[in-house]
């Protein structure tokens, strides 16, 4: 307990110095949200340090440049790993719910939901393809694209036989489904498997 | 029995030659004493030996717990670091508004199930209570959703009516996204909220855990903040593809954000728990070691004192015979 007390006492003067190891050179704008919160906190609860918020742990994004940049910066994240982190590419094609959407540098800012399908990343002459289950893609005005998917596998790890079996299984389930919930689950299974199928063949 | 022996000895000097008394005693609890010649009192070596044995066992146990916590930490730490990229796109898009003014806020407190992990659970509970206080006012209400036994024990005492949902035994199976998303689904279904504030301990290093609060806003509040300008002002510039309405996409977005942020928060808290347990057990084994040193000194002193007393008896007896 004494260790906690000495840590708490020592913390306030070190706050400024501690900000640097986290490489957060926050521009003034980002500090304001934190500042109102910190002030409100200190008024109501003066004895305890205010908790940190996610903004202080994030690298700030660059502002929108005046001319269209040549490369698109892509962050492709999954719950288990960051598949691509601030990688500069030429183009990505994402499977949005409205169809395959190509994203180039300078694309208008968009929020799109993804459906199961193939995501391809084009860098120079090489194309990397992933099958994504679903997720979201945010395209920002500064040519940053954030793709957040729940599951993604490179195409060569898919087994065609299992896909066919799964498709057959879910089609069967749909025909024998009674409640809406079962029907919806079977429909989702069919969607995913047919997308897998077309990914493998197409 | 010991008392009778003492009584006998007290009367003994009337009959036999008085031995040399060493130390004047002060009244101490009878059971611990082994009284030699009159006035000399010292703790029995047996008692000290027993205490040493139990302290040594405790030291072994805490050392083992530290090793176990270290290995568990290694396992969870890679997962937590990999999941750190998950919440960043959401904060980049929607910003972070901990000071947003809403009517219904829900505080999700993440804590551990097991104890002996230092002060992290108390810190989380203190911060949660602080946020509750911060968001109190006319027409505003704050409810709690509790994950973990330790926070439940602390919050149920004074905020019982504010608790909406309690979830325990989170770490029975290794943490994965599916489990957390089911959890998030439960919370979203059962709790009405305008803003969700997730309180957890972010893992920086084995000795440093920072309490953090992540805010997830409901789609209506996102719309409201976007319209009023300010931080979310340029949200309107974003084209929304797909779906019938923008509201539907924002709804899905909010739910997805919540599950992603929860996943990261739960992993970070698990890391912090193991790290805190490591340092707690480490200081505990060090304390046990110190205690053991002091007990060893006492033991040796006691042993030497009894030897000296025996010698004194022998020598004085011999000199009494001679002289």
Alpha-carbon span A6 to B134, nearest angstrom: 26
Across the interface, do A53 and B82 touch by the CB < 8 Å criterion?
A: no
Give the H/E segment covering residue B304.
helix B246-322
Q: According to the model, what pLDDT value does residue A28 have?
A: 41
* Alpha carbon of residue B245 to chain centroid: 47
How far is A173 from chain B, CA to nearest CA, in Å?
A: 22
Report yes or no: B260 at the A interface, CB cutoff 8 Å: yes
Across the interface, do A58 and B88 touch by the CB < 8 Å criterion?
A: yes
Q: What is the pLDDT of residues A172-191, one digit of tens each?
A: 888 888 888 888 888 888 88
Q: Which stretches of chain B drop beneath a pLDDT of 50?
A: 1, 3-36
Q: What is the pLDDT of residues B145-165, one digit of tens each?
A: 999 999 999 999 988 888 988
ipTM: 0.78
- pLDDT tier, A99 (very low <50, low <70, confident <90, very high otherwise): confident
Alpha-carbon span B195 to B164, nearest angstrom: 15
Q: According to the model, what pLDDT value does residue B201 have?
A: 93
E strand intervals along B126-177: 141-147, 163-167
What the block records as the tokens of A63 is: 């502002």
Q: How many CB atoms lie within 10 A of CB A12?
A: 9
Q: What is the pLDDT of residues A45-68, one digit of tens each?
A: 888 888 888 888 888 888 888 888
Evaluate whether B195 touches B216 at the Cβ level (below 8 Å).
yes
Across the interface, do A1 and B91 touch by the CB < 8 Å criterion?
A: no
Least confident interval from A2-6, A59-63, A77-81, B27-31? B27-31
Alpha-carbon span A148 to A133, nearest angstrom: 10
Q: How many CB atoms lie within 10 A of CB B54?
A: 10
Give the H/E segment covering residue B298.
helix B246-322
Q: According to the model, what pLDDT value does residue B114 have?
A: 92
How far is B48 from chain A, CA to nearest CA, in Å?
A: 28
Alpha-carbon span A191 to A170, nearest angstrom: 9
Alpha-carbon span B294 to A118, nearest angstrom: 68
Mean pLDDT score of chain A, rounded to an integer?
Answer: 80
Q: Which long-range contacts (CB under 8 A, 24 or more apart) does B170-176 make?
A: B170/B113, B170/B266, B171/B112, B171/B113, B171/B270, B175/B76, B175/B79, B175/B263, B175/B266, B175/B267, B175/B270
Report yes or no: B87 at the A interface, CB cutoff 8 Å: yes
Integer-rounded Cα Rg, in Å, for chain A is 23
pTM: 0.80
Alpha-carbon span A56 to A63, nearest angstrom: 18
Evaluate whether B209 touches B202 at the Cβ level (below 8 Å).
yes
E strand intervals along chain A: 72-77, 82-89, 91-96, 99-103, 110-114, 117-123, 126-132, 135-139, 144-149, 152-154
What the block records as the tokens of B153 is: 């024990």
Evaluate whether B19 touches B312 at the Cβ level (below 8 Å).
yes
């Amino acid at each position: 307990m004494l260790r906690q007390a000495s840590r708490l006492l020592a913390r306030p003067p070190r706050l400024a110095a501690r900000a640097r190891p986290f490489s957060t050179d926050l521009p003034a704008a980002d500090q304001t949200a934190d500042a109102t919160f910190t002030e409100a906190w200190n008024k109501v609860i003066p004895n305890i340090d205010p908790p940190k918020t996610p903004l202080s742990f994030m690298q700030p994004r660059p502002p929108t440049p005046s001319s269209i940049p040549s490369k698109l910066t892509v962050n492709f994240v999954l719950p288990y790993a960051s598949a691509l982190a601030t990688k500069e590419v030429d183009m990505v094609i994402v499977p949005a719910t409205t169809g395959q959407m190509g994203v180039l540098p300078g694309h208008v800012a968009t929020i799109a939901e993804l459906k199961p399908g193939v995501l391809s990343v084009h860098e120079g002459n090489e194309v990397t393809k992933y099958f994504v289950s679903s997720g979201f893609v945010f395209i920002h005005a500064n040519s940053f694209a954030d793709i957040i998917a729940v599951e993604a596998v490179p195409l060569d790890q898919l087994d065609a036989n299992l896909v066919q079996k799964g498709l057959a299984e879910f089609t069967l389930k749909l025909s024998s489904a009674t409640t809406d919930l079962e029907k919806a689950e079977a429909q989702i299974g069919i969607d995913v498997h047919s997308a897998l199928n077309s990914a493998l063949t197409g | 029995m010991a008392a009778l022996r003492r009584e006998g000895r007290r009367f003994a000097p009337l009959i036999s030659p008085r031995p040399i008394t060493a130390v004047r005693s002060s009244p101490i609890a009878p059971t611990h004493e082994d009284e030699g010649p009159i006035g000399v009192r010292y703790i029995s070596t047996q008692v000290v030996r027993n205490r040493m044995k139990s302290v040594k066992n405790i030291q072994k146990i805490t050392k083992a717990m530290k090793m176990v916590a270290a290995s568990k930490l290694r396992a969870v730490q890679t997962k937590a670091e990999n999941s750190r990229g998950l919440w960043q796109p959401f904060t980049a898009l929607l910003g972070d508004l901990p000071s947003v003014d809403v009517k219904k806020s829900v505080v999700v407190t993440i804590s551990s199930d097991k104890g002996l992990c230092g002060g992290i659970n108390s810190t989380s509970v203190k911060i949660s209570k602080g946020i509750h206080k911060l968001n109190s006012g006319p027409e505003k209400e704050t409810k709690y959703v509790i994950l973990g036994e330790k926070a439940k024990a602390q919050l149920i005492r004074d905020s019982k009516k504010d608790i909406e949902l309690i979830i325990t035994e989170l770490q029975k199976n290794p943490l994965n996204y599916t489990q957390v998303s089911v959890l998030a689904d439960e919370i979203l279904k059962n709790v009405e909220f305008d803003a969700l504030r997730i309180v957890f301990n972010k893992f920086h290093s084995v000795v440093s855990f920072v309490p953090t609060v992540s805010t997830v806003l409901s789609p209506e509040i996102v719309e409201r903040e976007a319209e009023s300008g300010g931080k979310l002002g340029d949200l309107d510039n974003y084209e929304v593809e797909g779906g019938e309405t923008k509201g539907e996409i924002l709804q899905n977005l909010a739910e997805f954000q919540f599950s992603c942020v929860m996943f990261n928060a739960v992993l970070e808290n698990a890391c912090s728990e193991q790290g805190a347990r490591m340092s707690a057990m480490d200081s505990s084994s060090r304390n046990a070691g110190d205690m053991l040193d002091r007990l060893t000194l006492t033991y040796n002193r006691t042993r030497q004192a009894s030897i000296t007393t025996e010698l004194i008896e022998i020598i004085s007896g011999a000199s009494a015979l001679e002289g």
